[in-house]
Amino acid sequence: MWDYSDKVKEHFLHPRNVGEIEDPDAQGEVGNIACGDMLKLTLRIDKKTAKIVDAKFKTFGCGSAIASSSALTELIIGKTIDEAMKVTNEDIAKYLDGLPEEKMHCSVMGQEALEVAISNYRGVDLKKMEEEGEKIVCKCFGVTDQRIIRVVRENHLTTVDQVTNYCKAGGGCGKCKDDIQAIINEVLAKEQQKKEIQPSASAEKKLTNIQKIKLIEYVIEHEIRPMLVADGGGIDLIDVDGNKVQVALRGSCSGCPSAGLTLKSWVETKLKEFVSKELFVVEVK
C-alpha cells in the first residue's frame, strides 16, 4: 500500500478549482484515457499584467492525479505566466507534502499540462513540435525521447524504474527499457562532460580557446536554447572572437522588441555564470 499524506487525501476528497473555464485564454491537454491518466487545464489570463487570474481542471485518473491537478491550480493562480512556468513537478509534490515515487508521474502530468497551456497562449504548438522532432520511445504510453531526457536531467534519475515512476515510460510491455537505459546513460555522460569542461568557481587557470568554445556551445545548447524554444524562439552560435560571442536569434526571438533584453539578461548572464565573467554577447542580424 502507498502512504499518502493528509494533504494529498484532502485535495483528492475536496479538490479545488474543478471544472472548465468557458472560452479560456489558454488550455493544455495531456495524457490519454486509454493509458489511464488525462488532464485538461484551462486558464484565464489578465492580458495587461500577464497574471493567471483563474485556473480550472478536469482530470481522469487516480487520486494522486486529482490531488496533483488541484495543487497545481492553487500554485499558479495569482502568478504571472513567467512565474508559473517556473513551477516544477517537484513543487507540486512538495505542496502536497510528498507523493509516493510510483505516483510522481501525476505531478509531471500537471507540469506538462501547464507548459502546453502557456505555450498555447503564446502561439506555440508543442504537439506539432513533438510530431516533427521527437521520437516516441515508449509506444505503450506515447512517451518521447525528449520527455525522458527532461525528467532524467531535472530529477537526477539513474534507473529505468525511476523513469517509469516519473513518466510511465517502460511501464507497459517493457520492450523500450533498453532504449530508456541508453537515454539515461547519454544524459549522465553529458552531465559528466559538463563537469569536466567547466572549471570550478575558484579555478584561476584561464580556459584555452578550444575549452572556451566547447563550453559556450554546451551552455547554449543545454541552458539557453531550451528556454528560448519554449517561447517559440531559438539561437545559433555564429562565432567567438576573444570574449565577444556572436549569436543569431531565431524564430519569435528574431526581430522581437525585447531581443536586446533577452541577450543581456538571459544569454549573456548565463554565459558569464557558466563560462567567464569577461564574455559579452553581440547579435548578428
Instruction: Please give the class, per CATH, of domain 209-283.
Output: alpha beta
Residue position matching grid coordinates 502536497: 96
Element (H, E) at 46: strand 37-46
Q: Is the pLDDT of residue 11 over 70?
A: yes
- Within 8 A by CB and 6+ apart from 137, the residues are 143, 144, 145, 148, 169, 176, 179, 180, 183
34: buried, middle or exposed (CB in 10 Å: 19+, 13-18, 0-12)?
exposed
Q: Is the pLDDT of residue 204 over 50?
A: no
The domains of the chain are located at: 6-126, 134-197, 209-283
CA distance 252 to 240: 24
Check residue 276 and report its DSSP letter: -
Which amino acid type is present at position 5?
Answer: S
Phi first, then psi: give them for residue 92, nearest 5 degrees: -65, -45
End-to-end CA distance of the chain: 59
Give the up-direction half-sphere exposure of residue 145: CA atoms within 13 A in the CB hemisphere: 14
Rg of the chain over Cα atoms, rounded to whole angstroms, equals 20
CATH 3.40.50.720 for domain 6-126: no
- Please give the C-alpha separations between residue 209 and each of 120, 194, 195, in angstroms, as whole numbers: 41, 16, 18
CA distance 69 to 22: 18
Q: Is the pLDDT of residue 228 over 90?
A: no
Cα angle 163, 169, 174; round to 5: 110
CA distance 226 to 106: 23
In this predicted model, which residue has the larger pLDDT, 77 or 265? Answer: 77
Cα–Cα nearest to 57, from 19, 89, 12: 19
Region label for 10, one of left (φ > 0), alpha (ψ between -120 and 50) or beta (otherwise): alpha
pLDDT (mean) for 112-120: 88
Report CA 60 to chain centroid distance, whole Å.
23
256: cell is: 522581437
Catalytic residue list: 35, 106
pLDDT of residue 94: 94
> Is residue 280 helix, strand or coil?
strand
In which band, very low, low, confident or very high, does the pLDDT at 185 lie, cut at 50, 70 and 90?
A: very high
Q: Is the pLDDT of residue 76 over 80?
A: yes
> Is residue 222 helix, strand or coil?
helix
Could you read off the pLDDT of 128-180 as tens digits, one per residue?
656 666 677 886 677 788 889 888 988 889 999 999 999 888 887 788 899 99
What is the CATH code of the structural domain delimited by 134-197? 1.10.10.1100
In which band, very low, low, confident or very high, does the pLDDT at 102 lie, cut at 50, 70 and 90?
A: confident
Q: Average model confidence (pLDDT) for the chain?
A: 85
- Are the C-beta atoms of residues 92 and 71 closer than 8 Å to each other? yes
DSSP string, 189-237: HHHHHHHHHSPPTT--SPPPHHHHHHHHHHHIIIIIHHHHHHTTEEEEE
